[in-house]
Structure 1
């Protein structure tokens, strides 16, 4: 390589005017069909105990500090508000399932290092979503979309500056381990033990439902500060265990065997896993009961009023 050549790892993104962006999008829509993202099929050779052991070893590096966990659990409202807002934005933008937990991990790591919120907390949350989307998706969320989700409380230039600040704070180590990284490996391990059924259409549908419910419960845990200090592997195992309970297609003996297998996979005590599973079920009942306690007048107002990510609400993606 020519040593005189200047090499830069920074991706300079030009901020286009919104009208120019819309014009280009309309031109693309007239000339070509919308592109669908293709996902690679599950490869069983990249799963197993060796991969799980590696994830268990790496997850400790991305854990927030004990001081940050203590401070947040004393006053969790602000952090939970930002996490719920990030969840709504990711859902409305149709982000990949890995974007939201990764953005919350970046948020916690940044706050753990700074121990203070910036002037615009939603700009911080949007910057974490932008970084996570760039890392996990081919077509990432645009800066203008995130600004619109925050009702333009900040400008794209502010968002890009916040992106630089977050990257500098986490030292560009953005590929954190989240519960969603463990879930497919735990599911594959449970299936290998003969508890997941065969490969027919009903079993595939059941596996898809189980994965979707587990993802939903893990996302709920990311919004709940009570699970902030829990390792991602434990959250993933407890979410999968609760999803299996909720489906109701396993007997007590089968559920006990699967729970023991999950505890062994995430290298935790069986009692600890059962305790976190009960905590998740309790948090789920709280979410559902808080939604049912709304008056009919409030529900009618919510139906009439256009919901915006700028006003965070409780999780509504639970489809048990």
Structure 2
């Protein structure tokens, strides 16, 4: 940030040297992707009260119905951009929160403007850049994003697009995504005796990210996508009985304030989408995918996008 006697500027102009100086001050915390410092999970900021707040706020960041209708009629271009954004985030080792937030930003921007810029990949890269600045202490660089797009645009173009997005969204960029709900849903399940599994969280993140790439889930509340992804992960791991899965489904439906039938419907949608992704992948699954429920993959790289 910069300030002087004439006023205060909100435009971030930190340099690489600034980040290095901050890292040298000995700040404590856990390590995230790429060795980034990450604050530990705080149980005091979880629970029903936090979930209720997220449920109330998520409606504010929903794309307009007209945009959802237009995209679902011709979803190919959006899905192409979303898959490219996912690839960039994976290749650059971004935090898992960066990708869903960047997709939310591009959907909200296009929902307001209803027009695609000259360089859609510049728009997508600018959304990744903003999301990285919000989610990571060591954000992705403009040069890395330009290189990922094979220099179809310059850093100056990227910064100008960033300003356009921020102006259009009125700097309201910290949207609620399914990844915001997952840790709170998992904590609530743990209170009911369910084991807090890192594998379960990883699988849920994978499925929620897959939904962000699929236009069929565009417009669905993030809480419902998170609950359905977690429900699919619970079913896919295959170490729970039918009655236990039913009770867990009831709990998730209650947490996201929806009917169990709706939760099951979206869970089945995710499972069908997963089977489609896996059946189009490089590994020939044969007819088993039609007869058996596919287990959730370990990470996004096991799904061919």
TM range (shorter): 0.7 to 0.9
Q: State yes or no: 1:227 paired with 2:217.
A: yes
Q: State yes or no: 1:153 paired with 2:152.
A: yes
Work out the CA distance in 2 between the residues paired with 1:135 and 1:62: 16
Q: State yes or no: 1:171 paired with 2:170.
A: yes
TM-score, L = length of structure 2: 0.85
What does residue 211 of structure 1 align with?
A: 201
What does residue 301 of structure 1 align with?
A: none
Work out the CA distance in 2 between the residues paired with 1:12 and 1:137: 16
Q: Which runs of 4+ in 1 moved over 6 A?
A: none
What does residue 128 of structure 1 align with?
A: 127
Q: CA deviation at 1:95?
A: 0.2
Q: CA deviation at 1:41?
A: 1.8
Q: CA deviation at 1:4?
A: 4.8
Would the aligned equivalents of 1:216 and 1:317 in 2 still touch at CA under 8 Å? no
What does residue 63 of structure 1 align with?
A: 62
TM-score, L = length of structure 1: 0.81
Give the alignment of 1:102-121 within 5 angstroms: 102-121=101-120
Give the alignment of 1:86-97 within 5 angstroms: 86-97=85-96
Q: CA deviation at 1:10?
A: 1.3
3-state DSSP of counterpart to 1:280: helix
Work out the CA distance in 1 between the residues paired with 2:244 and 2:194: 8
What does residue 184 of structure 1 align with?
A: 183
User: Structure 1, residues 26-71: CA drift from partner, whole Å, max 9, x if none?
Assistant: xxxxxxxxx9322222111110000000000000000000000000
What does residue 312 of structure 1 align with?
A: none
Work out the CA distance in 1 between the residues paired with 2:270 and 2:231: 10
Q: CA deviation at 1:229?
A: 1.3
User: Structure 1, residues 269-297: CA drift from partner, whole Å, max 9, x if none?
Assistant: 11000000000000000000011478xxx
Larger CA Rg, structure 1 vs 2? 1
Would the aligned equivalents of 2:37 and 2:137 in 1 still touch at CA under 8 Å? no
Kindly tell me the number of residue pairs found equivalent between the two proteins: 272
Give the alignment of 1:18-29 within 5 angstroms: none
Would the aligned equivalents of 1:238 and 1:277 in 2 still touch at CA under 8 Å? yes
3-state DSSP of counterpart to 2:7: coil
Would the aligned equivalents of 1:213 and 1:318 in 2 still touch at CA under 8 Å? no
3-state DSSP of counterpart to 1:7: strand
Deviates more, 1:142-151 or 1:38-47: 38-47
What does residue 271 of structure 2 align with?
A: 281
What does residue 6 of structure 1 align with?
A: 7
What does residue 242 of structure 1 align with?
A: 232
Would the aligned equivalents of 1:144 and 1:156 in 2 still touch at CA under 8 Å? yes
Which blocks of at least 5 consecutive residues in structure 2 are unaligned? 21-33, 285-299
Work out the CA distance in 1 between the residues paired with 2:71 and 2:143: 30
Which blocks of at least 5 consecutive residues in structure 1 are unaligned? 26-34, 197-203, 295-314
Q: State yes or no: 1:84 paired with 2:83.
A: yes
Work out the CA distance in 2 between the residues paired with 1:4 and 1:41: 38
Flag the structure with more relative contact order, 1 or 2, with Cα contacts below 8 A and sequence separation at least 6: 1
